[in-house]
Structure 1
Amino acid sequence: MADHNGTLKKEYKKMSKITNQLNKQLVNNMSENIIKDETLNQWFKGYEIADDVRMIREELLDLHVGLGDVVLVCLPNTAAYPAITQAIWEVGAVMHPIAATTPEVELQQELSEHDYVASIVGQELVDAVLDDQLAIVTALHLQTYSLLHIIRNRELMGHDAAVPMESDLALIMNTSGTTGKPKRVGLTHELLLNGVEHDIESHGMTALDTTLVVMPMFHINAQAVSILSTRLSGGKIVIADKFSASKFWNQVRDNEVTWVSVVPTIINILLINQRANESYDNDIKLRFVRCSSFALPLDKLNAFQNRFHTTILEGYGMTETASQCTINPFDAPKIGSAGKAFKTDVAIMINNEISKEANQIGEIVVRGDHVISDYLDSHPDSFQDGWFLTGDLGYLDEDDYLFVEGRKKDIINHGGEKIAPVQVENSLSQLSFVKEVSVIGTPDTLYGEAVTAVVISQGLQDEELERQKIMAHARETLASYEQPTRIFFVDDYPRNATGKVIRLKLREQVMSALVGRAG
């Protein structure tokens, strides 16, 4: 192990800054547990991760995968992910992770639309990736993954391994795609490093921290906020294959987890899941739970903090910004807000003008050293004068805290009144029988769009009675034009791979139901 340690120290000087730091973490923790795979119920020490990095890197070199070559990774959450990421970057290649649940047809479409020099998958997807293409298939037996396959597309030329420039691509990620086809975001070594360093500072991460990863690892939340930030700050990582309410608090307790990054849906599930509530005890000491994606209803936030004795830190970020733009300060959180800008310039665009005036609703725009300047498939209309136009609506209050009101495209036009769905959703979610609610606009001959609430009930007993309760609550808490005039009950929503509601598909389903009723 000493020789290997020395080799690492010698080699990490030849890599990008972020890859150097990843290697330093391994060198400094050769005999220490640093990553645990919950599925395997096994901790891996630094030297074991380093051995897997070396094995993957050497295979990539043999396959002539190098500088600028894009490698598709389609795997479930696994301790092998950090090793794969590091090995790809060490040869100067680019990683593009996608959901392990991607249907074979979509996977093959992805492979046909873009040039992937290699793909890394498990045994179950080898045939789907091959699909009659000319390829070399190699099998690796890693310590973190029993049988991993690298499929080298022989129809594409590879490049020699080389040290990438800081401005070269490191990671390609698809946006969440809640309203249309996902855009491809290219994050450079520099953007990622800047974003990760800001995460470490704003969250106060240290080598004493242990994080639990329950978000999918093809998503920026897990990649940057949880994994890269923890590795660069010297902490430990516990990787679950997916979120499980019944296992969550046991995983936190047994692994002495100090913080975890989640989305509001997970908060809601933990509040209502009986087994989760039964498995929690006061010996659990979480420093905080980081929550982003969309605003938590105030009653759910307060209930979680009071029941589970921890702090929820809400923030705002996206794939295009290599994670976060704003975060609530530990010493001055403002409930209901996404916090204050951190190492990011945040403003509001109103009538095509950039403004930081308080309490003016418009499109949120951001810029900074961790924000992309264009998509891989150019979308110049998303950028203006150095600003990234997020497509989200919000405002800054008098203390410069950001409040997010929803997606610009989701705004409902009801007789000329503009309604942000999140306002209505926050109101209706206060009802105890409402598990989840999504509010959309559906066509209305009189008002243009009708405010339509699509509800998942805790356990629907009497649909008409619950509908009446929703309407009564809306009359008490919302302006007349914000009150839903159509209410649908469903078992679940159409969702993307990260669990976000695909509003476009939901609207189509509701409209089909309306047509069916009319018929």
Structure 2
Amino acid sequence: MTAHPVAPNTPDAELLEDYSENSYPAMIFNRAKASAFMDRTELNYEELPLKTFPNLVLLTRKDNAKSQKSLQATEDSLGWILNTSGTTGKPKQVGLSHHFMYMAGQDDLVSHRMTEDDTVLIVMPMFHINAQELIIVSTLMSSGRIVVAPKFSASQFWNWIKDNDCTWTSVVPTIVSILLKNENSLASFSPNHKLRFVRCASAMLPIDRNREFGQRFGVPILEGYGMTESCSQCTLNPLDAMKLGSVGKPYGSEVKILDGNRMTSEAGIKGEIVIRGPHVITYYLEPNPDSFKDGWLLTGDLGYFDEDGYLWLNGRRKNVINRGGEKINPTVIENAIGGLDYVKNIAAVALPDDIYGEIVAAAVILQPDVKANEQVKQAIIAHCQKHLIRYECPEEIYFVDNFPLNPTNKIMRPQLSQILIQQKLVRKSQVVERMLSEA
């Protein structure tokens, strides 16, 4: 059996389309999601009375028994099919074999120094590679203990850690920010815990947030770099030699920088990160040949190595803003503005421009007690002028309540750009109306 976990908030139409394309022999949903398949006469409908999840439904194809082939599982059989994040386009389907899962689990186990005495708290979604591989498989291999939270809760997080004697957990940068800012989180924190580290991945964590978390809670954040296509991590900060802000050194896989047509690990060379190894895919389930070069996977992430062999991330290739030929990394802008106390979150994206082709726009979510006004906007502009190169400074600043996020809470930047374009059009119409009224 090959499992294909999907996000619980996946739209019904998308689930139906997925089923039509793949004809899965069996599917498990809650009753609400299963109801979308009620008119499919080729499916059997059976409720699963589990104590932990009482509302599950098993859907099976009626012709499955006749068409089912007798297959012997091997090391190369697929254990999972997982979707990529799809922040810059349609998610790709990644097939991960049992061999990949074993090799990656071994690397995770050893690099994090897991033992049978460890207890890990899962707050990450179960359809994500982080929870399935980095946490579950490696912990099963170490004979450790797993505690599963229903979902992330800032007010419950530290209680879960303390009450279950958790020794580590894995989060994303958004959770780090919430734990630092949420009053319920801060109020429930107690230094009487057993955390060895907090693992953070899936997106870039600003250095200031990393440092603040360690100082406030007395727990180091362990950053690494990996992706669904590598069945978890490719690099990790060594526990006894961490470099704040970097994602560590290659572990269990080869990592290079694409410089023109050559792959290099020379210090200071910036370019696209490429990977290969015993747990890195060599093809997608749907043909995508442009994602590979000479046996290496082109990750789409930008980065460079320092003199000590540590990898530093430098944004996404598709997210780079091209302002009149000047290539601008959104992360630089996000780090500058994100350090302001009154800013809860910020994303820098490109907006189309008749003169420069693209300009920099900043979408800012303020802290709940801060009111969006012209004074705050001017303060952000002044801060950028002091800390950024002139062409990196945002030419448009928008205050928003939230960002469009994918199921793993990564910002969907193309959609965010479209939202800001609409806001820009509204601004222009308001200016025209005001000029006409004054005339």
Residue from 282, 285, 288 that aligns with 1:379: 288
Aligned residue for 1:95, secondary structure, equals: coil
After the TM superposition, which residues 388-399 of structure 1 pair with which residues of structure 2 at under 5 Å, given as runs? Answer: 388-399=297-308
Q: Given the alignment, which residue of 18, 21, 24 partners 1:113?
A: 21
Given that 2:319 and 2:349 are in contact with CA atoms closer than 8 Å, whether structure 1 keeps it comes out as yes
Structure 2: distance between partners of 1:352 and 1:428 = 35
The Cα of 1:399 is off from its aligned counterpart by 1.0
Partner of 2:395 in structure 1?
485
| Letter of the 2:53 counterpart | Y
8 Å CA contact 1:315–1:326 kept in 2: the answer is yes
2:223 — aligned with what? Answer: 314
1:10 alignment partner in structure 2: none
| CA deviation after TM superposition for structure 1 residue 298, in Å | 1.4
User: Counterpart of 2:133 in structure 1: which amino acid?
Assistant: A
- Aligned 1:320-469 pairs, distance under 5 A: 320-459=229-368, 460-469=370-379
Tell me the equivalent position of 1:302: 211
Distance 1:381 1:353 in 2: 16
Which among 189, 195, 200 is matched to residue 291 of structure 1? Answer: 200
Please report how far the alpha carbon of residue 462 of structure 1 lies from its aligned counterpart in structure 2 after TM superposition.
4.0
SS in 2 for 1:443: strand
Q: d(CA) in 1 for partners of 2:200 and 2:174?
A: 10
Give deviations 1:28-66, integer Å, cap 9, x for gaps.
xxxxxxxxxxxxxxxxxxxxxxxxxxxxxxxxxxxxxxx
CA distance in 2, matches of 1:325, 1:458: 35
Higher mean alpha-carbon deviation, 193-202 vs 117-126, is at 117-126
Residue 274 of structure 1 corresponds to which residue in structure 2? 183
User: Partner of 1:133 in structure 2?
Assistant: 41
Please report the RMSD computed on the Cα atoms of aligned residues, expressed in angstroms.
1.4
1:134-163 Cα offsets, whole Å, 9 max, x none, are 112233333543353221122555425543
Report the Cα distance in structure 2 between the residues aligned to 1:131 and 1:200, rounded to whole angstroms: 46
Shift of 1:131: 3.2
For residues 380-432 of structure 1, the C-alpha deviation after alignment (integer angstroms, 9 at most, x for no partner) is: 11011110000011111111111111110000111211111011101111100
Q: Which runs of 5+ in 2 are unaligned?
A: 430-439
**Distance change (3 Å), C-alpha of 1:144 and 1:161:** farther
Amino acid at match of 2:12: E
Cα distance in 1 between the residues matched to 2:394 and 2:335: 13
1:286-318 residue CA offsets vs partner (Å, 9 max, x unmatched):
110000122211111111011111110001111
Distance 1:134 1:462, change over 3 A: closer
Deviation digits for residues 247-278 of structure 1 (CA, Å, limit 9, x no counterpart): 10001111111100000000000000001000
SS of residue matched to 2:3: strand
Report if aligned partners of 2:366, 2:372 keep a CA contact under 8 Å in 1.
no
Q: Say if 2:302 and 2:315, in contact at 8 Å, map to a contact too.
A: yes
Deviations 1:203-247 (A, max 9, x none): 011111111111110110110011111111101111112111011
Call closer, same or farther: CA 1:98–1:158 in 2, change over 3 Å. farther
Instruction: Assess if the C-alpha contact under 8 Å between 2:123 and 2:171 holds in 1.
Output: yes
Q: Residues 208 and 235 of structure 1 are in contact (CA less than 8 Å); yes or no, is this contact kept in structure 2?
A: yes
1:196 corresponds to which residue? 105
* Distance (Å, rounded) in 1 between the aligned partners of 2:7 and 2:86: 13
Q: Does 1:217 align with 2:111?
A: no
Aligned equivalents of 1:507 and 1:191: distance in 2?
37
Do structure 1's residue 258 and structure 2's residue 157 form an aligned pair? no
Partner residue, 2:434: none
CA distance in 2, matches of 1:383, 1:462: 45
1:509 alignment counterpart:
419
- In structure 1, what residue type is equivalent to 2:351? T
Q: Identity across aligned pairs (percent)?
A: 47
C-alpha displacement of 1:478: 1.0
> Which shifted more, 142-151 or 120-129?
142-151
Cα contact 1:211–1:237 (8 A) shared by 2: yes
Partner letter of residue 36 of structure 2? Answer: A
- The amino acid of 1:414's aligned partner reads R
Structure 1: how far apart are the matches of 2:303 and 2:233? 16
Report the residue type matching 1:179 in the other structure: T
* Corresponding position of 1:476: 386
Give the corresponding residue for 2:83: 174
The whole-number CA distance in structure 2 between the counterparts of 1:185 and 1:467 is 42
Distance 1:155 1:230 in 2: 38
Q: Give 1:180 shift.
A: 1.2
Query: 3-state DSSP class of the match of 1:276?
Result: helix
TM-score (norm 2): 0.95
Equivalent position amino acid for 1:266 in 2? I
In 1, Cα distance between equivalents of 2:19 and 2:165: 41
1:84 matched residue in structure 2:
none
The answer to whether 1:496 aligns with 2:406 is yes
8 A contact 1:295–1:337 mirrored in 2: no
Partner residue, 2:61: 153
> Which letter does structure 1 place at the counterpart of 2:282?
S
- Counterpart of 1:101 in structure 2 is 9
Q: Under a length normalisation based on structure 1, what TM-score does the superposition of the two structures give? A: 0.80
> Which consecutive unaligned segments of at least 5 residues does structure 1 have?
1-92
For 2:124, the aligned partner's letter is M
Matched position secondary structure for 2:143:
coil
Contact 2:203 2:410 in 1 (8 A): no
Q: Counterpart of 1:313 in 2: which secondary structure? A: strand
